[in-house]
Amino acid sequence: MAYKISDDCISCGACEAECPVEAISQGDDKYVINADACLDCGACAGVCPVEAPQAE
């Protein structure tokens, strides 16, 4: 199951740089994850300072 970024996101970009398949991009008010590209690896969750990426 893909990860999703919660509203706790502070738009720091740490998750985007860590994603091995470039499934994360800057949205209007927070970063977003393309669920179709997400590998469910959890790399984004491991680097997020506010634990915004969560497994769905």
Q: Which residues contact 53 (CB under 8 A, 6 or more apart)?
A: 3, 4, 5, 6, 15, 33, 42, 44, 45
Q: What is the pLDDT of residues 34-56, one digit of tens each?
A: 999 999 999 999 999 999 999 98
Where exactly are the structural domains of the chain?
A: 3-55
pTM, two decimals, is 0.92
Report the distance separating Cα 45 and Cα 50, nearest Å.
9
Beta-carbon contacts of 50 under 8 Å, excluding residues fewer than 6 positions away, are 8, 9, 10
Provide the β-strand partners of residue 19.
none
Distance CA 47, CA 37 (A): 19
Q: Which fold has domain 3-55?
A: Alpha-Beta Plaits (3.30.70)
For 23-33, how does the pLDDT look when each residue is reduced to its tens digit (9 = 90+)? 999 999 999 99
At 21, the amino acid letter reads V
